[in-house]
Amino acid sequence: MRRVIVAPCPVCSTEIQYIYQTERIPYFSEVMLASAICECGFRSVDTLVLGDGEPVRYTLEINSAEDLNSRVIRSSQGTIEIPEFGVLIEPGPMCEAFISNVEGVIFRIIKVLDNILLSADEEQKKNTLALKERLLNACEGKEPFRLIIQDMDGNSGIVNKKAVKSEPIPYDIEDECDE
């Protein structure tokens, strides 16, 4: 089903299209893709799983180019972790959902690193460039890693037969700081 609603942009009040479309994704229930884009720069994209979900955690060992093509579904509540690179991405109030592949997730992280480089001091630049190089090597299959995605609402996942589904592990930052 596809539905288009014309309504004002919340930023500039220009009439824009809000598109809602349902899709079936293997291993998940039906999902709704909701999007709106305005010329003023406003952008909203979200993926909502329409079925009931239990908290989930998926772990995928990335060892080949084929693994990099694995489908990644991240809801606006999903957390992404790549322990080998010290990467932990937690959802914030403006977090957007997406459907991509593992390589696409890596390039999203690289885009954030590029933004960090714009205002980094020399030490931060050195560390950021080193991480960026490792991520680029991982995209070429030169460095294996694990991609972990977890979602307390059960609306995120990794579509690959090698992905291991398990109970989520709560991230408790305060406990880590006490050690």
Q: What stretches of 41-98 show up as alpha helix (H) in DSSP?
A: 65-68
Note the pLDDT tens digit of each residue in 125-154: 999 999 999 999 999 989 999 999 999 888
Task: State the pTM of this model.
Answer: 0.73
Domains along the sequence of the chain with CATH: 1-52 (2.20.25.420), 53-169 (2.60.120.1040)
- Specify the pLDDT at position 97: 78
Cα–Cα dist 151/43, whole Å: 23
pLDDT for 105-117, tens place per residue? 999 999 999 999 9
DSSP 93: T
The first and second tokens of residue 94, run together, are: 């403006």
- Counting Cα atoms < 13 Å in the Cβ hemisphere of 2 gives 3
Is the per-residue pLDDT at 27 higher than 70? no
Distance CA 98, CA 172 (A): 25
